[in-house]
Amino acid sequence: MMRPDPNISDTRPVIRQLDEAAINRIAAGEVVERPASAVKELVENALDAGAMRIEITIAEGGKGLIRVKDDGCGIDEDALPLALSRHATSKIDGSDLLNIHTFGFRGEALPSLGAVGRLRITSRVAGAAAAEIAVSGGRIEPVRPAALTTGTVVELRDLFYATPARLKFLRTDRAEGQAVTDIVKRLAMAEPYVGFTLRDATGGGEGRVVFRADPESGDMFDALHGRLASILGREFAENSLRIDAEREGLHMTGYAALPTYSRGAAVAQFLFVNGRPVRDKLLTGALRAAYMDVLSRDRHPAAALFIDCDPTLVDVNVHPAKSEVRFRDPATARGLIVSGLRHALAEAGHRASSTVAGATLGAMRAEPIGPAATGARVYQMDRPSAVARAMSYQGQAPASDWTDQSSPAPQSTPQTFEGFADQPSARYEPEVVEDRAPEAPRLESFPLGAARAQVHENYIVAQTDRGMVLVDQHAAHERLVYEKLKAQMADHGVAAQALLIPEIIELSAGDCARLEDFAEDLRALGLTIEPFGGSAVAVRETPAILGKVDAKALVLDILDELAEAGDSATLKARIDAILSRVACHGSIRSGRRMRVEEMNALLREMEATPLSGQCNHGRPTYVELKLTDIERLFGRT
């Protein structure tokens, strides 16, 4: 039965011009999604104004109050009404939308906030009086004199009161407050020389300080390192690698964590383009690909990376919230991240994160007994001096020859244990130092020390000048063999096996074009694909190391990755997985007893091999305990 189309009526639809208030409310739906979006826009305006200290105050998760105070250049009294007009901005002149050097440029934030909330702006420029302007639900009030020392104060109350339906889609005050904190932390990472303070004034008063980051000093890397330590924690700062790489006009700096300092989710990945925090699939995919060889699939890397380039090489006018960017050459950006991070990880050598030792100490710590169990403090003796230790060692040594009754005793005798008092021994004589050839370096002076024992035929115990090292011999040797296999494959290429009957795969025209663009890259990995007419391709060769492979499934997986990330690492990942499996079977097995020479040779090879601090699955290959850590286990500190 035919039903009438509800979109067809006897009367023609009339085209109307929406009023300014409706336009601003519609724009607010794109620019201001939640209180955190409003905080982002206001803080970015403060940064564009040259502020060095920014104070943010929120109440009820930002729904009741958002106040941003800065010490920037301020806004002229005559320009305050214009600042509340749509598409009015001081950031650009409109002639070039690609050459953008500021956070904001669209001129939509302030009028959008004024359309859905109660907005008040108080500002003062140097050498002039302060003034303020207010707007509620799109109705602008006249400019009035105000009192302010310097900078600008923007106060937003009752967010979305003019559009109450939006309030139903907001989360709890706690969740919205956490989103605000995350936004402020990201902006604080981008500007380490600027001080940030975030307060929660729910309940009245000045509120409690939720987040504080004082301005950093020093060069760019030192300032960033200090800011990351205050935001992400000292553990990240201690276990991160300095990143500084450049390629074809793109410069990447920042810090990336060691593979053994990984997370269970992608919650510690912060990416910035020209100082702007972004969430970009291309960049996050490249970060994942850089760690692909050293992390298992269920672990995620931690990093804070900054890509700087000429503004004309990247388009930030993709989304109203400016959280997405588009590079002119995406492959260059992705290659910079992958190569830069892999180079830094390789230079780290055998280094593993300090958190591994912390977890080991936590597992080895004994249950408190005696006074410690009741909370009473156990007092330890102070660390003995060097003289006291020497006398103690002398006292524990066998007695000297002067204890023999046939020899006269010296005037002063060292302290000895009673058990050694009657034991004869050789008379002490000073050692004569002769000219000798320079000795080889002590094994204890090497980073992984000298092998002292093998425990349970699987773990090597080594002694260093600073403490001890416990090595998983199978995991360590597995990594060494894997790196050798990869180096051999890089030198000689990936062997390909020709299919007796080429496999024909029907695809769409777009998928065929994508494969043709990456045909040479796939051929270098042993996969040869040729056009077969129409929208079909022929797979003529596959990597020999994969053995029997489902060519169609492999090609479809590659296409899915190309469509999502613009590049594909599926084939290389499969080859690396095979090499990893070969390395696992070809390495020292658990339960094999090793000689001291073999153990020391393994330690020296680990020190010379990149990425030997973790196995092929991202687990640590060794644990290092400082002497102070060991003493802490026994309560000697």
Distance between CA atoms of 419 and 398, rounded to whole angstroms?
9
- The alpha carbon dihedral of 235, 239, 244, 246 has a sign of negative
Q: Which residues belong to CATH 3.30.1370.100 in the chain? A: 442-637
CATH superfamily of 442-637: MutL, C-terminal domain, regulatory subdomain (3.30.1370.100)
Asked if residue 139 lies in contact with residue 115, where contact means CB atoms within 8 angstroms, the answer is: no
Q: Which structure tokens are listed for 380?
A: 């330890």
Q: Which of 574, 570, 549, 572 is nearest to 560 (CA)?
A: 570
**Among the listed ranges 216-220, 422-426, 506-510, 556-560, which one has the minimum average pLDDT value?**
422-426
| 97 — pLDDT class (breaks 50, 70, 90) | low
Higher pLDDT pick, 97 / 633: 633
Residue 248's nearest CA partner among 205, 307, 295 is 307
pLDDT digits (tens, 9 = 90+) for 110-149: 888 888 889 999 999 998 999 999 999 888 899 999 999 9
Residue 213 token pair: 């980051």
Residues carrying CATH 3.30.230.10, the chain: 220-348
Of residues 371 and 161, the one with the higher pLDDT is 161
Q: Which segment, 206-210, 508-512, 565-569, 628-632, is predicted with the most confidence on average? A: 206-210
Least confident of 274-278, 391-395, 500-504: 391-395
Q: How confident is the model at residue 515 (pLDDT cuts 50, 70, 90)?
A: confident
Where are the domain boundaries for CATH 3.30.565.10 in the chain?
20-213
Query: Any long-range contacts for 97-102 (C-beta under 8 Å, 24+ apart)?
Result: 97/317, 98/311, 98/312, 98/315, 99/311, 99/312, 100/311, 100/316, 100/317, 101/274, 101/311, 102/48
pLDDT, one tens digit per residue, over 5-61 is 555 556 777 787 777 667 666 666 667 888 999 999 999 999 999 999 999 999 999
Span 248-277, mean pLDDT? 90
CA 275 to centroid of chain Cα atoms: 16
**Per-residue confidence (pLDDT) for residue 512, from 0 to 100:** 87
Q: What pLDDT is stored for residue 363 in this prediction?
A: 61
What's the pTM? 0.70
pLDDT level of residue 551 (50, 70, 90 thresholds): confident
Q: Residue 111 is encoded by which pair of tokens?
A: 């009028």
**High-pLDDT (> 70) share of the chain, %:** 76
Looking at CATH, the fold of the domain delimited by 20-213 is given as Heat Shock Protein 90 (3.30.565)
Contacting residues for 104 by C-beta, under 8 A, at least 6 apart: 41, 44, 45, 48, 89, 91, 322
Q: Are 74 and 146 in contact (CB under 8 A)?
A: no
How large is the average pLDDT for residues 369-382? 45
- Residue type present at position 597: E
Q: Which among 596, 329, 572, 231 is positioned nearest to 450, based on CA atoms?
A: 596
Q: For residues 62 and 35, is the Cβ–Cβ distance under 8 A?
A: yes
Q: What is the mean pLDDT of residues 281-286?
A: 88
Architecture of domain 220-348: 2-Layer Sandwich (3.30)
Question: Taking all residues of the chain, what is their mean pLDDT, rounded to a whole number?
Answer: 80
Q: What is the pLDDT of residues 176-226, one digit of tens each?
A: 999 999 999 999 999 999 999 999 999 888 889 999 999 999 899 999 999
Q: Which pLDDT score is estimated for 24? A: 66
Mean pLDDT across 60-68? 94
